[in-house]
Amino acid sequence: MRVLVTGGAGYIGSHTVVSLLASGHEVEVVDSFVNSKPTAIARIEEITGATVPLHHVDLRDRAALGRLFGERTFDAVIHFAALKAVGESVAQPLRYYENNLGSTYTLLDAMAEHGVRTIVFSSSATVYGAEAPVPYTEDFDRLDSSSPYGQTKVMVERILTDVAVADPTWRIALLRYFNPVGAHPSGLIGEDPQGIPNNLVPFIAQVAVGRREKLSIFGGDYPTKDGTCERDFIHVDDVAEGHVAALQAITAGDPLVRAWNLGSGEGTSVLEMLHAFERAVGHELPHEIVERRSGDLPAFWADPTRAAEELGWRTSRTIDDMCVDTWRWQSGNPEGFPD
């Protein structure tokens, strides 16, 4: 298939492009480079030996997107493009709603106009909210989120579901993944947060490479095995392979809209992840435990049963794999992707 990947120069998008190419698909990327750099595409081409057509387009630009769909032929879309910082979304909610929802509206309009009705959507475990029982299962239907970022994921899921009800020829996958970390084993592509990292592992990596003084661990008195929060960490290459499996499933079966969790099904604490990264680096890393951060849940993880049974997908990489691959990427690219 010829697949258009929106946000394909970003962290998860770039790894998914590699997996798509390895599976024999033709891939093109559209990206506005708000959270990414074109260098990532050159690195993908170095890894795969393939040429990846790149379109510098903001999805909210209806005319430009219409021209892209008018000039190129696509069989499916994988939709990553979005603003993604939880804290920033709390401070700038209108920007997040306008960008994440507006870009999806124009994308779906262009797809419908040009007869492309297969889409894999990059959703998030944040859609489950604070009231969902752990482990999270896809049949929990009171979706909610504590941040505008998460609410945009909830809203897009509802939009896509309504689109499928109105026109049952659509094939739609909603992939709710948990905490993607790691990097491609080549060390050529990885997570490159702009500014101060919002997530644990890239922050640890920047401490290890000397860009940050120390790691602050928010809370050491949670009701968990070591007092720190527990999360379901998953290697980004496992996440990427989940997108390929979902694309295959929705194109091979009956028209549908279906949600799948992409997670390991296990909780790993902040301290366990820190110690795994210390093993990868070969020495201890400076850290301190500080006050809890508002809004953090003590522990949550996925029930990945549905993905295993329906997609034949499950995680295959360990916490140590995640840290070794992250360190290979960060140590080889201490400032991230070059401009």
Measured from the Cβ of residue 310, the count of other Cβ atoms closer than 10 Å reads 14
How many residues are there in the chain? 339
* Residues 6+ away with beta carbon under 8 Å from 190: 11, 182, 183, 184, 325, 326, 329, 330, 333
| Active site (annotated) includes residue 177 | no
Q: To which H or E segment does residue 100 belong? A: helix 93-113
Nearest to 237 by CA among 186, 161, 165, 290: 186
Q: Are 248 and 25 in contact (CB under 8 A)?
A: no
Largest CA distance in the chain: 57
Q: Are 123 and 153 in contact (CB under 8 A)?
A: yes
From 96, 128, 136, 149, the catalytic residue: 149
Cite the active site residues.
149
